[in-house]
Amino acid sequence: MGLQRAWDEGYRKVQLQLDSQVAVKLLQDTGYRDHAQAGVLSRAHELISREWEVDIKHIYREGNKCADFLANLGHTLDINLHCTPIDHSCLNHLLLYDMQGLSEPRDILIN
């Protein structure tokens, strides 16, 4: 839905950042036909193949505080596309954090 919205709004150069390396690979490759989400992936590939530039990148959640904040906010909403204005003041410190390239250490459990 985000790609469709970007297209509809007239954007022709988009950077799609995902914190799932699996999702990045599925969007960059065509070997998804047997995947459980093949319908969604097919639609995404259709959008990506349009006459525009879509740069798909993996980014660690810890390196993109704004996206992490918005994803967590999205988990509190019902499943649908929500285009509602939010109070950007809650993102100001996160934007600064992201622009400075700051990140927090990633916790990894080692057995």
Give pLDDT, residue 59.
Answer: 83
Give the model's pLDDT for residue 78.
82
Residue 109 lies in a domain: no
Classify residue 16 as exposed, middle or buried by CB count within 10 Å of its CB (0-12, 13-18, 19+): middle
Whether the CB-CB separation of 6 and 27 falls below 8 Å is answered with: no
Question: How many other CB atoms sit within 10 Å of the CB of residue 65?
Answer: 19
CB 98 within 8 A of CB 66: yes
Residue 106 lies in a domain: no
Q: What is the pLDDT of residue 95?
A: 76
Is 104 domain-assigned? no
**Which pLDDT score is estimated for 60?**
80
- Specify if 105 maps to a domain: no
Candidate from 1-10, 28-37, 55-64, 102-111 with smallest mean pLDDT: 102-111
| 13 and 27 both lie in a single domain | yes
Q: What pLDDT was estimated at residue 107?
A: 62
Let me know whether 10 and 46 are in one domain: yes
Structural domain including 28 reads 2-58
Do 68 and 45 share a structural domain? Answer: no
Reply yes or no on whether the pLDDT at 90 is more than 80. Answer: no
Please indicate, yes or no, if residue 9 is contained in any of the structural domains.
yes
Q: Are residues 49 and 67 in the same domain?
A: no
Residue 24 clears pLDDT 90, i.e. is over it: yes
Q: Residue 102 has what pLDDT?
A: 62
> Are both 47 and 9 inside the same structural domain?
yes
Report angle CA 85, 88, 93 to the nearest 5 degrees: 155
pLDDT value of residue 17: 86
pTM value surpassing 0.75: no
